[in-house]
Amino acid sequence: MTKTFVLALCCLSFFLLFSCKGPAAEKKPYNVLFIAIDDLRPELGVYGNDIIQTPNLDAIGSQGTLFENHYVQVPTCGASRCSILTGLWPRSRQHLQNTAVEQFMSNEPEGDTPESFVHHFKRNGYYTVGIGKISHSVDGLWYGYEESPEGAKMEMPHSWDELLFDPGKWETGWNAFFGYADGSNRQGKDKQVKPYEAGEVDDLGYPDGLSTQLAVKKLKELSDKDQPFFMGLGLFKPHLPFTAPKKYWDLYEREDIPLSPFPDLPENVHPNSLQESGEFNSYQLGDEKAGLDQQLSDAYARKLRHAYYAAVSYSDALVGKVLEALEEEGLADNTIIVVWGDHGWHLGDHRVWGKHTNFEMALRSPLLIKVPGMIPRRIGTDMPVSSIDLYPTLMELTGIPVDFPLDGQSLVPLITAGEDSDRAAQAFSYFRNGISMRTERYRLVKYFREAEPTVELYDHQNDPMETVNVADDHPDIIAELMPLLEKGNTGLYAHSSN
């Protein structure tokens, strides 16, 4: 065998070795795009609403895994986000407050356990970028509604490589969050504002358009990095005020928009289980004031629902711009997309305009997870899931080990097989001195207070709008379910009597 032949054989072997490596061997780690949308009910086309126009969110849901019954742990912005970011149930009253992220992360030194799943991604080689409202603050900084952000601490100081926000004509993040098309804001006008607006502006005329513009630009930069990325994009709308460019209002004929199927008070329920729509009423130039004592007029209720739908369609259009950027930059085939609503919102249901209850309308929100190459699935109402399940899910999908305790359970078996024999059909939520448990059929709520009744039971098979508390009629069901609810009792109300 000549030296020339041996050299040629070696060259051929080297070529075959490196040219025939399979896709699995060369596969890059998944990128992750996490889109958090504030106050988003599961009222999307893909969830069965045939009036609202959400084609881009519908595409994600129809191409990925849609969870019919996804529940947040706390029905308020900051606390819900604290729970999903840490993968933990609330364990104190402070965990139920909008300041939860600030209280438990902002002043903490970096410890062995990551402060959030974003931090865990960063520790494992991901480049992390946050744009808009991911934690509680709209720009990731800890400062008051009427304060300057200059010198403010980061809410999650160890999580981000980059934290981006463009306040535009509103000048600060909180002004932008409560902003109107002319650059004004709720606090600057001392709450003398309406809870809705159809702005004569284009998509950049409201803050979410600017955040999306940042996201599109950043995706172009990230596509050139030899490093996987996690991008969090937090859109404000449809959070109050229900503002959107007029073209999204024009998508709808108001008379076609349905009113709440149950605008009355639920039976056998203490008013303490509901709320007086205080956030909504802080927009003091609204046409009418909401409250438990009476319903809003049908005309005003329909106007508000029209405004909400327009704001949702605006966010959907912005999501479409991000999806287009993913495709254009060649990132779509290697990027996990998660769409998450931080809680639901009563649109007049039970005479409430807002979140902050333990009812289905406040606790249920969309969860869509699209993993490249996975077949589409719908996880039905027989398997409720929780926001805290996202942390272990993302880590399993990206192959990142977790050696610390989490309260959530990975959704990967549901995503890959559509079922999980090891998963209990339970989701726990916490608010208003109560613990709520949602099962396939029932919602059981136990309140730690003096006001009676302290136990509520809703049968979703016969009463999907939770109109009647039937706890007194079914002591046998209460006896069966209460031990299961106690599994979610973290002791956060141990010292409460009211």
The string of DSSP codes covering 79-99 is HHHHHHHHT----SGGGGSTT
Candidates 385, 360, 380; CA nearest to 460 is: 360
Residue 162 β-bridge partners? 129
Phi/psi at 453 (5° precision): -80, 150
Cis, bond preceding 384 (omega within 30 deg of 0): no
Q: Which residue is catalytic, options 77, 120, 306, 346?
A: 77
Burial of 7 from C-beta contacts in 10 A (0-12 / 13-18 / 19+)? exposed
The count of residues in the chain is: 498
Please state, in angstroms and rounded to a whole number, the distance separating the CA atoms of residues 58 and 54: 6
Residue 346 designated active-site? no
Please state, in angstroms and rounded to a whole number, the distance separating the CA atoms of residues 415 and 377: 7
Please state, in angstroms and rounded to a whole number, the distance separating the CA atoms of residues 398 and 89: 23
DSSP state for residue 185 in the 8-state scheme:
B
Residue 158 designated active-site? no
Q: Which residue is catalytic, options 70, 95, 119, 136?
A: 136
Please state, in angstroms and rounded to a whole number, the distance separating the CA atoms of residues 360 and 464: 9
DSSP state for residue 259 in the 8-state scheme:
P
Candidates 290, 191, 307; CA nearest to 254 is: 307
Tokens of 136: 């509680």
Candidates 248, 235, 361; CA nearest to 309 is: 248
Cα distances (Å, whole numbers) of residue 177 to 3, 37, 119, 149, 238: 73, 13, 25, 14, 11
Q: Please answer whether residues 339 and 70 qualify as being in contact, where contact means their C-beta atoms are separated by less than 8 angstroms.
A: no
Tokens of 3: 């030296």
Instruction: Give the active site residues.
Output: 77, 136
